[in-house]
Every structure is written in structure tokens, then in C-alpha cells.
Structure 1
């Protein structure tokens, strides 16, 4: 069956049997993350949602664990509690256009949460992903917003330029794609695959830092284009990349609307930016990230 922009996560996994598989979905207590987690669970997987808010974890109706991606201690604790194989890791959680803030290690909050936390989590869980029979799958949830900004390697933390919450978010989403590119290269012989997905526009809690004017602008842009997706539609591409048998062994790719997307063409809102799949950028970001989180 062919899937597309209107497909839901439930439709994507309808003919998939995940019995005996284990999955982790970060940010799985609401929105796209919750829809992803429920779809994987409906297909038979044992799903753990990783959340900052215990109330969201309890409300999800699934197994849940505390995880604050901006706190490397919390990330390490989560990984240390995990035992046994891990078949699917969906790096879904994120923050968007937050006021300027930095972690105790000095990293800009959006970059730290959206990229560094997931980088540390993925590296720490890599052995568990490698324990599976067919190799675990990692899904890095990015955004079309990555098209607006590359990672500024000379000033990731806005020490020498005025902080802009939109640019900070955009570069963190580019970092998600670069992670998938380099992880695919490094883990090619481990059977662990890593792919990036753009879920499309979903109106929800992620935008709670935006002003009314910014939200109105986003609503107008959505109305004149593809429109907003429901959380279940936004979760479809994550579910597809996490489970589709046809993607077994495929890694380092970028997907949107349940299809692999090509390079971005000017004048469109689709595709992946060339700088986001550049191998040199990906390798450079990996080295910076490994040093930042103390990964070997």
C-alpha cells in the first residue's frame, strides 16, 4: 500500500507485527510522540515513552520513564536503567523558539535539547540497538525548518551574535539530519540504521513559546500550502521509517510524507538542504557533540 501526506500512523502499521519488539519514543506523552507510541504499541511493540513530565507519562497509558534531554545526567540515568535489546528508538522530543537560555555546560537550550540530548541518548543506547536480531532502527525527527539555517559551527551557542530563537531552533533541526548522516556511516557495520524524518506541520504544544502574531503567520502559511496535519498524520512518517519492511538496512536518508525526499529545490518547502546531508558537516558535528557529552 502506498502512503502519503494524509496517511496516519495507524494506517502505516496496520499490516506490521511488532510482537516481541521494544521501542522508546522520546516526548511520547503528547502530540506526534504520543501518536507514534500508540501506533507502535497497537502493532504489538512494548513501548516506553520518555517524558519530562510525570503527569504526561501517566496519562499516556503506556510504560513511561523520566527523561530530561537538556540534562545529560538525566540522559545517562535513563540509558543506565535500560537493559536488554532495543529495536526502535524514536528521537521525537523537542523544544521550539524558547527564550534565550543555556545549560549548566553552556550549551544553548534548543541545541542541547533537540540535538545533544538525543545524540547522547542514541550513543548510550547503541549497544542495546545492536543486540537485536536484524539491527535496531533510530528515527531522528527533524523539521522543514532546517531549510532556514545550517549549523553555525563558529557560534553554535550565540556567544558572538544576537540570540534569535527561530535561528536557534532551525540549526538544531539541521543538527538532527546531520546526526542521521554520520551515525549511518559510523554504524553501517553494526546493523543499526538511522534516518531523519520531517513530520510536517502539526499545531500543538510545541509552538507554545510563539506569539499570537507568529502563530497567525504560521496558520496563514499552512492554509495557503499543505495545511496542518493531525498528530496522527504527523506521526505517520516516523512510524513508517521505524517499521516498514522495505526499509530494512536503509540508513542515512531523509523522509517526509512517508517517502524518501530528495534535495531541496529553491521555491519549494520540501526536500532536504544540501548542507544538512553534507558528510563533512556531519563528521564535524559528531566530533563536537561527542566532546560535549563525553562520549567516546
Structure 2
């Protein structure tokens, strides 16, 4: 790790979002959850709303968003659950959400993502996973920086993955213009970018009282895997061997997200990577757990920030 004390909590891989949020009051706090209408996004939003927060589901599918918002309101009694359109791979869509937002923002959960699609490029020529998982969230978070600073003590949650172990950010060819594209390498690169974002944002925004942490939610069967066949999932689990982590329920998958988003146990903690509701250990070769040194590399984090700003400004 970074030479600092590793953060541990009473929670573990089997803890649920509801257990992590027990006794936490978020009344008066405002949150955005990207991808809040599917998978662990639903459970993250439900847990935050259940604790009294105003929650905006930033989603591609408005109909699914409205349906989810109604379900969360019915389940929690919280009528302050809203829906906003967001297509992370579209700079115009990201800018529209930023422009429309008024007032403070206490919690931003960068949760949405795309996993292992065939090679797809945005209008700018960016590889889709890097564009969606990193650049879209980067543009959203930096665009909302003023709202986060205004909140005082705001938290940004960067949902990464153990798949970051598959690839560093290859600055020489981020968009696979010269190297062969493999879906998992692209996914891994984008998930490393999610961690590097937290490392650099934690430095840049510390004076604003904003903390930024990354996490691996665990393996959860959700719509995220729509490009991945059952055979491929079986192959990957066989590859992981007998020590492959167990599948989590969506409620368990959201636990680390809400811990990072709202638990007082993490007050003032920033720039770190969590899994199974605790700060991750250093990754060891051959292991599926832990965080790699390249994902926490401050020089790579600073470089990625500049590259991301340049790409979005072009």
C-alpha cells in the first residue's frame, strides 16, 4: 500500500448494503448514482434513499429509471428519488446533466459501466469502455466539482473492479489504434483508470473537503455482463481456480459502494481502494484480490488526469 495504516471495518464480503447503512442518517444530503436503474446501482440507490438522502438516478434508460425510482420510493417511503438522463459515452449528455444540476452535491457514485464489448468506438474515436467507464465519469465529476465543494465533506465513489489487475493504462495507445484489442484488456484498462482517478482527485480536491475512493464491488451477476457468454464466465472462474471468490448478491455487491459513500467509518479517508468492505491489500501475482501498484501510482494518476482533460477539451 502507501505506507499508511490499512482501513478495516466490522463488515466483510457477506455484508449487505442495508447492514452497512444501519443507523446512518442522510437526511438533507443529496446523491447521484450513475447506472442507478440496474444491478448494484439499484441497491446502492435504495440504501442511500433508505437512509433519507435525496437520490438522483442518472441513467441511459429513462423508463427503467422511472420504474426503479417508483420501486425505491415504495420500499423506503422516500419521495425524493429522481431520474436524470445520462449517456456517459456522449460528452453532450454529460454536460447537460452538469448544467442542469443546481445546489450542493454530497455524494457522487460513479457506478455505471460497460464490460467487455466487441471493439466499439465513440464519435471521437475513443474505445467505448475507456470512454464510458472513465472519461464520462471524469467529465461528470470534474463538471460537478463546484457542487461537491459547496456541499462540504462531499464524497465521490469510483466503482472499479478486480479486473483492473488485467491492464494498466497504456498511455501510448489508450484507444487500441495500434495494438490488438481484447475486450478484457480494454475493460481492465478502464477499471485501472477508475482507481487512478480517485488517487489524483483525492489530492486535487482535498482542500475542498472532498474525499474520493475507489472500490471493487465483488462478482455479481448483473446486466453488466450482457456481452459475456455463460461459457466465458465459466472459463474465467475455472481460470481463477478453487480460490475464486463466491458470487455476491446485488445487496452484498452494493455494500462496499455505500460504505465508501456514506459510512462515518471512512470520514476523512481518501485516495484508497476498497473491496469486501475493507481497504484492499496489495495485489500478489496469481491472486484475484488486492490492488496493483500501478493502479495507485501517483505519477500515472497525474498523467491520466491531464490526458483526460485534453481528450475532453479537444
Q: Which range, TM-score by smaller chain?
A: over 0.9
Normalized against structure 1, the TM-score is what? 0.96
2:283 corresponds to which residue?
A: 264
Are residue 189 (structure 1) and residue 207 (structure 2) matched? yes
1:11 corresponds to which residue?
A: 19
Q: Could you tell me how far apart the structure 2 residues matched to 1:35 and 1:24 are?
A: 13
Q: Could you tell me how far apart the structure 2 residues matched to 1:93 and 1:146 are?
A: 16
Are residue 247 (structure 1) and residue 271 (structure 2) matched? no
Q: CA RMSD in A?
A: 1.4
In structure 1, the residue corresponding to 2:84 is in which secondary structure?
Answer: strand
Are residue 33 (structure 1) and residue 52 (structure 2) matched? no
Are residue 153 (structure 1) and residue 168 (structure 2) matched? no
Q: Could you tell me how far apart the structure 1 residues matched to 2:101 and 2:165 are?
A: 35
Return the offset for 1:266.
2.1
Normalized against structure 2, the TM-score is what? 0.91
Deviations 1:33-63 (A, max 9, x none): 1100000000000000100011210111231
Return the offset for 1:222.
8.5
Return the offset for 1:223.
7.3
Partners of 2:244 and 2:288 within 8 A in 1: no
2:64 corresponds to which residue?
A: 56
Q: Could you tell me how far apart the structure 1 residues matched to 2:151 and 2:285 are?
A: 41
Deviations 1:10-51 (A, max 9, x none): 111011000000000000001101100000000000000100
Structure 2: tracts of 5 or more residues without a match:
1-8, 70-80
Q: Could you tell me how far apart the structure 1 residues matched to 2:118 and 2:261 are?
A: 32
In structure 2, the residue corresponding to 1:25 is in which secondary structure?
Answer: strand
Deviations 1:135-187 (A, max 9, x none): 21000000000011101100101110111111001100000000000001111
Deviations 1:62-119 (A, max 9, x none): 3111000000100000011100000000000000011111111111100000000000
Are residue 277 (structure 1) and residue 296 (structure 2) matched? yes
Structure 1: tracts of 5 or more residues without a match:
none
Count of equivalent residues: 294
1:46 corresponds to which residue?
A: 54
